[in-house]
Structure 1
Amino acid sequence: MSVSKSLFENLGGTAGITAIVDDVVEAHMNNPAISARFLPYKDQPERLAVIKKHTVDFFSAGSGGPVTYTGRDMPTAHKEMNITSAEYQHTVDDIMYVLNKHNIDEQSQVNVQAILSSLKDSIVGK
């Protein structure tokens, strides 16, 4: 009997998720629809490193990895940002593009898409 891998493992574990997060942030900074939200962090490398670490930990913990997420919950983390549905969709599109670029299997992409869909209401309009 074969044991199926967790989403965490399918995303490449901590190293894979870290590489994905790095590429996603770069994609966001290059996406004209949302770059204004991300480009200011280029001048705040320490803050950007913290955001990336929290994002890696969040996705690692949420995908079955041996990680405990200690950051803020999604509504608190996005409070007063007034993120629109269109902006959220652009972030999702960037993430899915990066997963494809990293040759993440189709079922794992579907699983990530489901996770992102489940987070939308706790991020948009907060």
Structure 2
Amino acid sequence: MGWPLRWFGALGLALLVGCAQQPPRDDSLYQALGQRAGIQKIVEGMLLHIAKDERIVEHFRKIDIVRLRDKLVEQFCVEAGGPCRYTGDSMAESHKGQNLTRSDFNALVEDLIDAMDEQNIPVATQNRLLARLAPMRGDVIEK
């Protein structure tokens, strides 16, 4: 193979690699939630609601709330398409042995919605976040 064919082969390979790259990350939800600062306000509001929620507060009594806040912010940031990295345990691992019920899960979601309402997050944006978090439900309840 002469140099022109090798050059075209290398060019073709470079074009294929360039085309195979992932599309740019959609961070529109991250932006709509107010970026990391907005997500932190939402998480902190949710934790305040949980602290007053007799249905589920017992599940949080022996938990390091600061660490929980930080991991939830990371996780919500990742799920929203933000530039974060989640460094916590998997949902299945962190909820293992807690035997959380559907009612417990639903109460937490209600507390999250209340926190988003307080931050004036539009319902459509709330639904986008909830849809991204919903697949974790199976890793949380009845484990």
Smaller-chain TM-score bracket: 0.7 to 0.9
Instruction: Please tell me whether Structure 1 or Structure 2 has the larger radius of gyration of its CA atoms.
Output: 2
Tell me, in whole angstroms, the C-alpha distance in 1 between the residues paired with 2:80 and 2:113: 16
Contact 1:92 1:116 in 2 (8 A): no
Show CA shifts across 1:48-87 (max 9, x none). 2111111100000111100011111110111111110000
Residue in structure 2 matching 1:101, options 106, 114, 118? 118
Tell me the SS of whatever aligns to 1:24. Answer: helix
Kindly indicate whether residue 70 of structure 2 is the aligned counterpart of residue 80 of structure 1. no
Question: TM-score, normalized by length of structure 2?
Answer: 0.77
Tell me, in whole angstroms, the C-alpha distance in 2 between the residues paired with 1:107 and 1:25: 22
Supply the RMSD in Å over aligned alpha carbons: 1.5
Determine the structure 1 residue equivalent to 2:79: 62
Tell me, in whole angstroms, the C-alpha distance in 2 between the residues paired with 1:84 and 1:93: 14
Contact 2:91 2:140 in 1 (8 A): yes
Determine the structure 1 residue equivalent to 2:38: 16
Identity in percent = 27
Instruction: List gaps (5 residues or longer) in structure 2.
Output: 1-25
Determine the structure 2 residue equivalent to 1:119: 136
Number of residues paired by the alignment? 118
Instruction: List gaps (5 residues or longer) in structure 1.
Output: 42-46
Amino acid at match of 1:27: H
Tell me, in whole angstroms, the C-alpha distance in 2 between the residues paired with 1:5 and 1:54: 19
Tell me the SS of whatever aligns to 1:103. Answer: coil
* Large movers: runs of 4+ above 3 Å: none
Aligned pairs (5 A) from 1:29-40: 29-40=51-62
> Per-residue deviation at 1:5?
5.9
> Per-residue deviation at 1:37?
1.3
Tell me, in whole angstroms, the C-alpha distance in 2 between the residues paired with 1:115 and 1:21: 15
> Per-residue deviation at 1:23?
0.8
Which sits farther off after the overlay, 8-17 or 108-117?
Answer: 108-117
Question: TM-score, normalized by length of structure 1?
Answer: 0.87
